[in-house]
Each structure stands twice: as structure tokens, then as C-alpha cells.
A and B are shown apart, each in its own frame.
Chain A
């Protein structure tokens, strides 16, 4: 019997090395409609083998539907899903080399932890599962809980059983549907690192669906931000954060200060903008919208990139920085940093996060201030978009 197990494992390893990088997940033109409602618009997506890929978006954006189409739990209305070159679009879930970690885990309540983990192996006719199950339970650090029933475990432990139950089958792709949604904040942080560790250890492609932008950025190599059934932008977390291409991404991923500005001159590597009385410089490379003199763009800057000085010290601001003046509307002290909301003529709620290194006692609500930042930290977006797209969605989700 051990030979059988070994054989299976061997075959799996050889397949993986033989196929090398053709083990990608490819979605081509995949669409899902429910009656007149389109949950997922034609979507093309390639997830490279071995990557940790996150689908990020607010609820109802189509991310879970996309995941379920990969798992085979949802039939695509159009388009194909292929795994490592094989078209699996019409295979039932039990014939796909894919496993899922379900939201709220869906552990079998009548089976103990061991049998839950062994379920997939047994269904594939593998008899001697003990060694594999024990190894897997060791990997998720649940060795001593093997004979407990799921309801006797804590949320974090149940989550790890769900991961072990899926991973033991060596799927080509592991799908995670909001796997940490039911955990409290501290445990979630811990499990994020744990999942990342496991992914690095087993080298399987992970596709992770989440509404938590911080979670997506912490764990994934590549993040696809989805909105209303479409992928807004796709890229490594830092790239998405620093160079959002739409207002939705700029607002959904962290916080952005966006202000409407007129293009004064667009020559060379820099675009010169005018917003109210201020003149701002935006590197052309960081502007995703076509900028012609006289046109409009949205200039954006992240709150932590901005420095804040009292208006009396405005002379200390070095030359060549983008400057905006305003009055502090509110401050909140969060320990490591202080968050200021500044009311400026060009943007009514300019947010600034300042590290609490040397706190200036004059920076209290009502104080006149000058905001300044390195022009290289400015990004430009198409002014034709809704400036508030994606605002609040993230917070609403977190509260839900």
C-alpha cells in the first residue's frame, strides 16, 4: 500500500517538474451572468505557477464568483478555464486538480480532524493515509488535535484544518475564499504569516480572495483589484499602491489624497500642474492619463509621503517640493504616528500621516500649515473618473 502512496506522490512531482511553467491558471474571456446581472465581465487572467495571487475587491465585485468558476462550483456563462494547458471549463469539481479552503471552512462536523484531512485521499482510493495525514497535521501544527471534532477547535485551528484538508491533495492550485474572514484581528495577522510560510514551503499556486486590502498586500505576490465584475488593475502590491491607475484602486488600496488640477505645461519628463494657487510637478512616467496643456488630470499623493510644517516655518520648506497650504481640521494621535486632516482650498480633506519623531506643539486644529512632498511621489489619474470611487468600500467591508 505504501508503494501506491509513493507512486502517486512521485507522479505528482514529475508532472510538476516536467510541465515546469506551463502549470499556470489561465482564464480566457471568462464571464458569468445571472439573468440580466453580470457578475463577472469577460475576464482574461493568467496566474503564474507557484505564485501567491490575490483577488481583491468589495463584496459583490465578482471575485468569489471568479474563484468558484476556477473550482468548478460555478459554470462560466462564456469563456474557458485552463489549468496547466488543460481546459477544465466543463469538468465537475471532483475531477479538477484544484482544492478550496472555503469561507467559514465547511469542515465535516461528523468527522474528526484526521478524517477531515484524509477525506480527499480516501476519495482517490489511497488506503494508507496515516503518514501523509500526520505530516500534513504537523505542517499546520495540529498534530495533537487529530482526534478532535471540528467544533472542539478554535477558529484559527479550524482554519488550519481547512488548509491541511485541501493541501494534502497536492492540488495544482489552492483556492482560498476569504479564509481569514471569521478570525479576530490578531489571529488574522498570525494566520497571514502562517499561510505565507506554508505557501513558500509547498510551492503550490495560491489564489486568495479577500476584501481586506492589507491582507492582500501582506500575503500576495500579485494582486488583482476587482470592481463591478472587472479587474481594475493587476500587479505586485507595491506597484499597485505606488502607481494606482484608477481612482478606485487609489482609494480602495490604502488612502489617497486626490485633487483636480489643470495641466499647465507638459513637456519633458515632468508635467506641471496648477491647482488653485499652487503649482505641482508630476513625473510623466507616473501619469496614467494623457496630459495635454489646458487639460485636466487628478493628482494624487499618499498621506505618509507628505510632510507638514507650521505656516510660520514655511521658509524652511526646501525648494523643488510640491507645496499646498491649508488649515488643520482635525488630528488624531495613534501612537506611532499622528493623522492630520487638513482643509485646503484644493482639497477639503487632505490626509497626512506624520511619524511621531519630533512633534510640533503648534500643530493643533485651526493652525495654518504648509504641506509639502517630493514631486516624484505624485501620481496622475484620468480626471474623467469619479474622484470618490472606492472610498468607504474598504471601511464598510471591515465593519461587516
Chain B
């Protein structure tokens, strides 16, 4: 922290540099501006990564200390033991992302095109949950989905739970401690990360394009399909990434709203680090998760081809 703070260009530095010819000074300025960010990344991103990478190939025990033995088998062992949690993480995070998109797109559309003078207020409401801690908000869902509570009661009366039970998303007349609860929690917690980029990209669309499409015989629905949706694709892509990536590493929702059957990879890593104190396995799992997300994201961006959009 201190390093970064001192590196912020002090006014004294600029007066000292007045003497040097303006061209040389101008050439160095970008690097000076980059320095704080680069230092930050070195200290808080690269160093922990290297440390973690070395931990993942160590062997030993807490009592005798760990040694780097290039024991890559940890990766294979971790994967073969915890692959169900990996798959579950991708499934849950994927479902939550799809739900976020389905809920967030209409909302972002309304804010961007129909909210008028309420726009700022609605945007503040979207961000408002962030004023409370993530943990508290998730705990609130415990009350909302509580057994015998109004939500579960209503879902039961409407026979929704019969359908979700049949799909394996809920068990009996409970919602809490089921996959549905975890997915709901993830959807709720990451919804603003979907809405904000969607809103930004929708809001940037020139209203005259809608008029032009209407002028060229496109019905409002066709206008949406052929003009609005393609032009909002950058928002869809960044929104889904901003939702999917943190959701797949999340462990709070599965911890508070789920059961031992809904453990995600985040829960496994947390347990390995903090309870079992098997640091190499935890580090290896972290790297595997990172690799998995990187792979999914790369494939996704390739497929959605957003680099073609302006």
C-alpha cells in the first residue's frame, strides 16, 4: 500500500522536471502514470500468484513444514476427487447467469429507453443492495426461503415445487438447502453486475437507429431483434462474464443457502485452506478453477464474436 501511495506523482516532481526539455518529459509521462497500477498488480496479483503456484507443488505437513517437491500429482488428485463440485459450480453459475440475463435485460432496457426522468432513481435502486454487506443480504435469503415461510407456501400452493422437485432442483416441500436456493442466491447477488453493463451498452445505442429501422418497415419487435439486440451484444457479453466468473468461484451462497449436496468448488477450496489446512490441494484447486474459467471465457468470447462490433 505504502509503495503505491508514495509513487503517486507528487507536485514536487513536476516542478523538478520543468528543467528537462518538454519532449523528454512528455515521453516519460505515460510511464509515470502507469507506475502505481503496475506496482499494485505486482504486489497484490503477481506475487500471490507465484506464491500460490509454488504452494500447489509443495508436499509436507503443517507440523514439519512444506517443501517444493514439484509434486504435480496434487493437481490430478484434486481433480479426480472434486470434479463433481467443478461441474456443479459451472452448472449453478451458468444457471444463475442465464437467470440474471433474463431478468436483467428487460430491466436494463426499461431503464435505458423508458425510464425517462426516473432513470437515475432506478439505477440507484439497482446499486442500492451494495450498501449492505454481501453476507447480510445472503442471510436475508435464508429468512425469505425459510421452511413454511410465505414464499415456500406460495410455491407449494402453485405446485411449482412439484415441478422443481421432479427436476431435482428442490427436495420435498423445502427450498432452503437445495440447488434452487443456491441458484436464487447467486442470481440475486450478481444481478447488478449484469444490469449495469447491459444498461451502458443499451444506453449508447443511438435512438435514431430505432427510428431508421421503423422507417424501413421493421416492426418494433423486428427492430429489437435486428438492431437493438445485436448492438447490445457487448453488454450481454461483459454482463454474462461479470456474473459468471465471480459466481463460479462463490462459496457464500452455497454455504448459507445450500447443503452438503450443493457444495461448489469455492466451498471445497475454502475448507481445504481454512479447516483441513491442506494448502497444496487448495492452491491446486484454485489454479484449476482459474484455468477452467479462462477456458470457458475464451470459448465464449470466440463464439460470440464481439470484436466485430463497434
Contact = CB atoms under 8 A, between A and B. Distances in A.
Given A149-B310, A151-B310, A104 B208 contact: yes
B214 A120 contact: no
A108 B206 CA distance: 10
A190 to B, nearest CB: 24
Where chain B touches its partner, the secondary structure class is: helix
B214 to A, nearest CB: 4
A113 interface: no
A73 to B, nearest CB: 5
Contacts of B217: 94, 120, 123-124, 169
B91 interface: no
A246 interface: no
B231 A94 contact: no
Interface string B186-221: 000000000000000000001011011111111100
Nearest to B210: A106
B227 interface: yes
Interface in B81-112: none
B216 A169 contact: yes
B24 interface: no
Interface string B116-140: 0000000000000000000000000
A71 B213 CA distance: 12
A273 to B, nearest CB: 51
Contacts of B206: 106
Interface of A: 71-73, 92-94, 98-100, 102-104, 106-110, 119-120, 123-124, 149, 151, 165-166, 169
Contacts of B226: 119
B167 interface: no
Nearest to A175: B215
A129 to B, nearest CB: 13
Given A71-B215, A73-B214, A119-B216, A102 B208 contact: yes
Best-buried of B213, B216, B230 by chain A (most CB within 10 Å) = B216
A165 B216 contact: yes
Contact of B227 (A72, A102, A108): A108
Given A109-B310, A123-B222, A151-B310, A99 B216 contact: yes
A102 B213 CA distance: 11
A102 B216 contact: no
A245 to B, nearest CB: 35
B219 A106 contact: no
Nearest to B212: A106
Interface string B284-305: 0000000000000000000000
B208 A108 contact: no
B216 A110 contact: no
Contact of B215 (A93, A104, A124, A151): A93
A94 B208 contact: no
A107 B216 CA distance: 11
Contacts of B227: 108, 110
B208 A109 contact: no
A104 B226 CA distance: 20
A172 to B, nearest CB: 13
B21 to A, nearest CB: 38
A109 B231 contact: yes
A161 B235 CA distance: 28
B227 to A, nearest CB: 6
Nearest to B309: A110
Given A102-B208, A151-B310, A92 B214 contact: yes
